[in-house]
Amino acid sequence: MASIMPFDSFLRKSLPEKLFKSYRSFEILSEADLQAFVWMYSTRFLRKLPDGASKFRVVNKLYCRDLNIHPDLVVLKYGVPWICIELKEAGRIVPTAIGEDWKRLNRTRRELKAHRGYLIYLVRHTSRHFPRPRDFSEIEDRSSCLIPIAISMEKRLPVEEFTTWNAEFRQRSKFSLPQKGV
């Protein structure tokens, strides 16, 4: 049975770097884009593992009819839920949302009997409510099987570069048709 450690290391270390680069180059402009990139990077990583192509499958919005839920991503191992991943892309993290996201992920992970759950935040602005392990200390039924991963552009870019990037992001993320006759 394959250990979760290589994939855990990928999600905590390599994936944030890849997402940062994709976000910085405006390849990710929405939560749907984030989901597509996490699916792509995860699938590529798992296929490189020994027998990875036959063992693992990453599924977008797997609808679980009996539970009436559909997590953003589920990694199946031999066709059985192994990892649940919830994704959030936003300008800022709303403090009350952290607890709700955490509870939803924990419930989903338990109901699917998945080994672990990951909550990945990709945000433009850092706030004092940026997720840290202590943010989840008040939540009942905590589990070491739930891991938050938070990536902030404001925190990772120099101030001037972030200001320029953020202005361009706002422009690119809201597409409008060119004006006729102008």
Could you give the domains of the chain? 27-171 (3.40.1350)
**Are the C-beta atoms of residues 74 and 86 closer than 8 Å to each other?**
no
* 159 — pLDDT class (breaks 50, 70, 90): very high
Asked if pLDDT for residue 1 goes beyond 50, the answer is no
**pLDDT confidence bin for 140, thresholds 50/70/90:** very low
- Better pLDDT: 127 or 15: 15
pTM of this prediction?
A: 0.86
Q: For residue range 73-90, what is the model confidence (pLDDT) as tens digits?
A: 999 999 999 999 999 998
Q: What is the mean pLDDT of the chain?
A: 84
108 phi and psi angles, rounded to 5 deg: -60, -45
Q: Which token pair is 149?
A: 């991963």
Q: How far apart are CA 102 and CA 119, in angstroms?
A: 7
**Mean pLDDT within 83-100:** 86
pLDDT over threshold 90, residue 16: yes
Average pLDDT for 45-58: 89
Percent of the chain clearing pLDDT 90 (strictly above): 46
Q: How far is CA 117 from CA 86, 105, 175, in A?
A: 8, 7, 33
Q: How many whole angstroms separate alpha carbon 173 and alpha carbon 175?
A: 6
